[in-house]
């Protein structure tokens, strides 16, 4: 194998796939990238056996072939080279020779035949949606995913597909985020309704790789895998094997009280109160009274912070304990300038959302403070 290509073509491709590679692997081959050179292109693939990302770059090909190279080292070399650099990669026996200008690097390789491949099952559901829509839905839900929870099905985002509609849900048992969107291109499916749980790592990689400019994303679902394709990039991932809980049950309905808050004023007030909140539990008392939202935080050192902002609220005075980080996460996800809070009492979950955004629901459970 012998190719030449510009750094500007190689670096984005390496950056796209290298996020899959863990710094510590159970198998040495998983620390490498598979390079496949055919025609005028080099295809680059990385996997951790649960998730696989592939992309390609244009190259000047002198000799076709396949090889594996150390992912992190190859990426670091490419990053360290100057803009506009032209890179030559040649496989010589068990070594990969990388040259650019007066720079020379010799890397170890592993047999390409040993590189594992993830075979996706036959697609049962396929759909297309704009990349901006998918990224927006993941951005607004991924923060609520559980982190290494023993309830493994919570360590990801639920995608719920039905004809003309896509729903994304994430929860860690203390909060929940749900976003519903219409799919303009519809769904081709063998069934009217399907739920799948996409693993957290896959969610974060899809978020990272989705293009800034809007383009159509092709999504294919099978019994055990999901395929996401856009541009030159293909992501194949195993799905979480487990039944997601009936999340509708934890979304409160018929909440009698509602308040409207300025988002930036709320953010600033929460950040001030959080300075003196308990570092472990991050609790803050949120008091709703007519026209005023009062915030109070304290810590084991008996220090206390009090703050208040003006709000639109006309109802009974109620104080609810919340995790301040959970509220700040919701504020980050809200696009509108005002936040709408619906609640019942101090012991019930509250619904937070951007003003008028009925397709977005953020549920936060109360804390006892």
* Average pLDDT, integer, range 152-174: 93
Regarding whether 138 and 110 lie in a shared domain, the answer is no
Residue 12 domain boundaries: 2-114
Interacting residues of 25 by C-beta distance below 8 A, sequence separation 6+:
31, 48
Tell whether the model's pLDDT for residue 91 goes beyond 60. yes
Regarding whether 60 and 17 lie in a shared domain, the answer is yes
Regarding whether 76 and 141 lie in a shared domain, the answer is no
Per-residue burial over 62-100, b if 16 or more Cβ lie within 10 Å, else e, is: eeeebbbbbbebbbebbeebeeebbbebbbeeeebebeb
Regarding whether 77 and 168 lie in a shared domain, the answer is no
Regarding whether 305 and 197 lie in a shared domain, the answer is no
The sign of the torsion formed by the CA atoms of 343, 347, 349, 353 equals positive
Burial of 129 (0-12, 13-18, 19+ CB in 10 A): buried
Report the half-sphere exposure of 314 (CA within 13 A, side-chain side). Answer: 0
As a 3-state breakdown, the chain gives helix, strand, coil percent values, each rounded to 5, of: 20, 45, 35
C-alpha 205/C-alpha 207 separation (Å) is: 5
* Average pLDDT, integer, range 175-203: 82
Per-residue model confidence as pLDDT tens digits over 244-293? 999 999 999 999 999 999 999 999 999 999 999 998 899 999 999 999 99
Regarding whether 203 and 104 lie in a shared domain, the answer is no
Which residue, 59, 83, 114, sits at the end of a domain? 114
* Average pLDDT, integer, range 295-317: 96
Regarding whether 176 and 103 lie in a shared domain, the answer is no
> What's the confidence (pLDDT) of residue 135?
96
> What's the confidence (pLDDT) of residue 187?
54
Q: Are 305 and 276 in contact (CB under 8 A)?
A: yes
Helix axes 71-80, 7-18, angle to 10 degrees: 140
> What's the confidence (pLDDT) of residue 369?
83
| DSSP string covering 103-135 | EEEEEE---GGG-----PPPPSEEEEEEHHHHH
Number of compact structural domains in the chain:
3
Question: Within a domain: residue 119?
Answer: no
C-alpha 250/C-alpha 158 separation (Å) is: 15
Tell whether the model's pLDDT for residue 358 goes beyond 80. yes
> What's the confidence (pLDDT) of residue 82?
96
Tell whether the model's pLDDT for residue 189 goes beyond 70. no
More confident residue, 54 or 117: 54
Per-residue model confidence as pLDDT tens digits over 103-113? 999 999 999 99
> What's the confidence (pLDDT) of residue 119?
78
> What's the confidence (pLDDT) of residue 192?
61
Regarding whether 140 and 47 lie in a shared domain, the answer is no
* Average pLDDT, integer, range 74-103: 97
More confident residue, 276 or 190: 276
* Average pLDDT, integer, range 146-155: 93
* Average pLDDT, integer, range 155-160: 96
Regarding whether 243 and 130 lie in a shared domain, the answer is yes
Regarding whether 244 and 129 lie in a shared domain, the answer is yes
Which residue, 87, 114, 141, sits at the end of a domain? 114
Q: What's the pLDDT band for 124 if we cut at 50, 70, 90?
A: confident
Question: Within a domain: residue 216?
Answer: yes
Question: Within a domain: residue 323?
Answer: yes
Q: What's the pLDDT band for 126 if we cut at 50, 70, 90?
A: confident
> What's the confidence (pLDDT) of residue 185?
52
Which residue, 204, 221, 248, sits at the end of a domain? 248
Torsion region of 282: left, alpha or beta (phi above 0 gives left; psi -120 to 50 gives alpha): left
Regarding whether 239 and 283 lie in a shared domain, the answer is no
Question: Within a domain: residue 348?
Answer: yes
C-alpha 36/C-alpha 89 separation (Å) is: 12
Least confident of 74-88, 161-175, 325-339: 161-175
| pTM (two decimals) | 0.93
C-alpha 200/C-alpha 156 separation (Å) is: 4
Q: Any idea what the CATH number is for the domain that residue 168 is in? A: 3.10.150.10
Regarding whether 35 and 141 lie in a shared domain, the answer is no
Q: What's the pLDDT band for 25 if we cut at 50, 70, 90?
A: confident
**pLDDT mean across residues, the chain:** 94
Tell whether the model's pLDDT for residue 191 goes beyond 60. no
More confident residue, 100 or 187: 100
Per-residue model confidence as pLDDT tens digits over 26-55? 899 999 999 999 999 999 999 999 999 999
Question: Within a domain: residue 120?
Answer: no
Question: Within a domain: residue 369?
Answer: no
* Average pLDDT, integer, range 295-321: 97
């Amino acid at each position: 194998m012998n190719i030449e290509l510009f750094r500007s073509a190689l670096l984005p491709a390496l950056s796209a796939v290298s996020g899959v590679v863990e710094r510590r692997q159970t198998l040495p081959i998983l620390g490498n990238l598979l390079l496949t050179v055919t025609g005028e292109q080099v295809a680059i693939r990385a996997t951790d056996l649960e998730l696989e990302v592939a992309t390609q770059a244009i190259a000047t090909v002198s000799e076709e072939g396949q090889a594996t190279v150390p992912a992190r080292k190859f990426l670091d070399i490419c990053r360290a080279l100057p803009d506009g650099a032209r890179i030559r990669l040649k496989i010589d026996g068990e070594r990969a020779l990388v040259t650019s200008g007066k720079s020379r690097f010799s890397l170890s390789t592993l047999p390409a035949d040993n590189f594992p491949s993830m075979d996706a099952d036959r697609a049962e559901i396929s759909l297309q949606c704009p990349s901006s829509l998918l990224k927006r839905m993941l951005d607004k839900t991924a923060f609520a995913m559980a982190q290494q929870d023993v309830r493994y099905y919570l360590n990801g985002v639920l995608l719920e597909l039905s004809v003309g509609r896509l729903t994304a849900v994430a929860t860690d048992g203390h909060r929940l985020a749900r976003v519903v969107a219409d799919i303009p291109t519809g769904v081709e499916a063998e069934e009217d309704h399907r739920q799948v749980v996409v693993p957290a790592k896959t969610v974060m990689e899809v978020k990272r790789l989705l293009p800034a400019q809007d383009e159509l994303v092709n999504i294919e679902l099978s019994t055990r895998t999901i395929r996401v394709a856009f541009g030159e990039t293909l992501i194949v991932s195993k799905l979480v094997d487990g039944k997601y809980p009936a999340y509708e049950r934890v979304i409160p309905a018929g909440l009698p009280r509602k308040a409207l808050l300025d988002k930036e004023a709320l953010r600033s007030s929460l950040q001030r109160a959080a300075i003196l909140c308990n570092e472990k539990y991050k609790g803050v008392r949120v008091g709703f009274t007519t026209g005023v939202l009062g915030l109070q935080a304290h810590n084991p050192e008996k220090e206390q912070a009090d703050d208040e902002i003006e709000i639109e609220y006309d109802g009974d005075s109620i104080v609810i304990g919340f995790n301040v980080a959970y509220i700040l996460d919701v504020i980050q996800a809200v696009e509108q300038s005002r936040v709408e809070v619906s609640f019942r009492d101090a012991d019930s979950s509250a619904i937070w959302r951007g003003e008028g955004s009925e397709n977005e629901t953020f549920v936060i459970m109360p804390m006892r403070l």
